[in-house]
A and B are shown apart, each in its own frame.
Chain A
């Protein structure tokens, strides 16, 4: 009887002593996460490069490089750092393809790239760095369709100014 009461009493005081200091919270909060502002659409986009092409008004840009021997896709930031990449030079992709260049390679690269982007938490990418007369060709169209079917949206949301 008595012992039981005392154990419950001490438990309560322990938990109260534990959590009594929780209420003290600093009035300013700084979030160190570098991806926080761009995920909330509050980060700055570099607006100054309007007279050159390609423009740098994005948070993440999708760039497709097609060479005679392979196809590569990069998602990069405006300062040039690559975040996610996929290429037909990687053994994981090369072994399932007949040729590491061409329309089928682009399409499958798009599917793999979409999966990797979603895993990395990149849902919105800018796909404007494509040369206009090359944009209509089959391989780039297939790549874009594969990315959209994979779930990545190829338009970045507008920054929230107000």
Chain B
């Protein structure tokens, strides 16, 4: 069946017009790997185990679709291959797992024997205390979850050029408002610039005698160069918990995401220092309102001091333009406010063919440089 079709295609005998079929031109050969479902024995269908439910099949199908295959897949095409990343987090001592597991099993056993809990679960009235759950989560799986979200927001890619770290120290950042309530900063919150106009209250657990560095950067806001960031706040050699006792290298500048540029990330980084570090090269003048002085690169900064400093805490928020940003541009930075507009990338059209098949007359409009529509003019 294949041979006469092949010759007809190549000579163009049928009706004078040849057609190309890449499949016919390739020589038939053995597949380069195992075909799917090859390992299932179809000779005896009665003896095979059936799915009997859609959920079982669907879950298995999802798992199979995520496996890497020898043929080219859409997943391989869209997502780049994962590179091994350097880990720059704080070293962690090996936890004693056996004792912890024993304690947890004991608590679970007590829960199971508790008749009240069983009744509440049966009558569906149980409501877990969310604050306690959050506190426990911060200690156990919080750092991994925060690392995952930070990975998706592109923080490690932009600040550290791919090196990741797990934020073991829980950094609590809260902006206090006039009416006594706090706007907290978690991992990816939305905070308005008017709420972030004064330095926030930062707290974290610290041993006595340890030194820390706090840094606030904006990797998205740079008005001249896309690859550099703006430094908003840098406090170094903080003894223990108290930010006020640390040396403020660069004073706090409120966020100023320009209008029309969308959401900017503002990232708080907490570094743990092994010894007092001399930051005299990085000192900015006291009221520093020059954007050139505030241009910063976390990668170079970290490279300079990487022997004495390790990243320990992370918190970031997303910020959009607000009327207080105009005040920052006019009063603090002493410049005219820039306003941007979103420009859509041009619509993609495949390369133009001399004889397009099954295309309407407006096919020509897509490739003409001037605007002369042939559709909708009558």
Contacts and interface: CB of A to CB of B under 8 A. Distances in A.
A45 interface: no
B125 to A, nearest CB: 8
B107 A104 contact: no
A33 B130 CA distance: 31
Contact of B334 (A19, A25, A32, A103): A19
Interface in B312-340: 317-318, 333-336, 338, 340
Nearest to A107: B124
Nearest to B66: A80
Contacts, number: 174
B175 interface: no
Nearest to A109: B128
Contact of B335 (A23, A93, A99): A23
A108 B137 CA distance: 15
B285 A18 contact: yes
Interface stretch (B111-119, B196-204, B242-250): B111-119
A36 B262 contact: yes
Contacts of B261: 29, 31
Most A Cβ at <10 Å: residue of B75, B117, B126, B289: B126
B114 to A, nearest CB: 7
Interface in A51-65: 65
A98 B118 contact: yes
A121 B190 contact: yes
A112 B133 contact: yes
Most B Cβ at <10 Å: residue of A14, A19, A30, A98: A98
A82 B347 CA distance: 30
B263 A92 contact: no
Given A39-B262, A90-B137, A33 B188 contact: no
Contacts of A85: 145
Contacts of A157: none
Contact of B262 (A37, A65, A79): A37
A103 B120 CA distance: 11
Given A21-B292, A29-B258, A36 B126 contact: no
Nearest to B133: A92
Contacts of B136: 91-92, 95
Contacts of B148: 82-84
Given A39-B318, A98-B111, A34 B262 contact: no
Contact of B224 (A24, A65, A77, A102): A24
A160 to B, nearest CB: 9
A94 interface: yes
A96 interface: yes
Interface in B45-63: 54-55, 58-59
A15 interface: yes
A97 B129 CA distance: 11
A105 B317 CA distance: 30
Contacts of A19: 289-290, 333-335
B330 to A, nearest CB: 11
Contacts of A31: 220, 261-264
Nearest to B65: A80
B219 interface: yes
B340 to A, nearest CB: 5
A104 B124 contact: yes
B128 A93 contact: yes
Contacts of A82: 148
B336 A23 contact: yes
B335 to A, nearest CB: 4
Nearest to B334: A19
Top 6 nearest A-B pairs by Cβ distance?
A: A121-B188, A92-B136, A119-B186, A18-B290, A98-B121, A19-B334
12 contacts: A16-B334, A18-B285, A22-B291, A24-B224, A29-B226, A34-B152, A40-B262, A81-B152, A93-B133, A98-B121, A112-B128, A115-B134
Given A22-B335, A94-B108, A104-B120, 10 more contacts: A22-B289, A29-B226, A32-B154, A33-B262, A83-B152, A95-B136, A96-B126, A108-B126, A108-B127, A111-B128
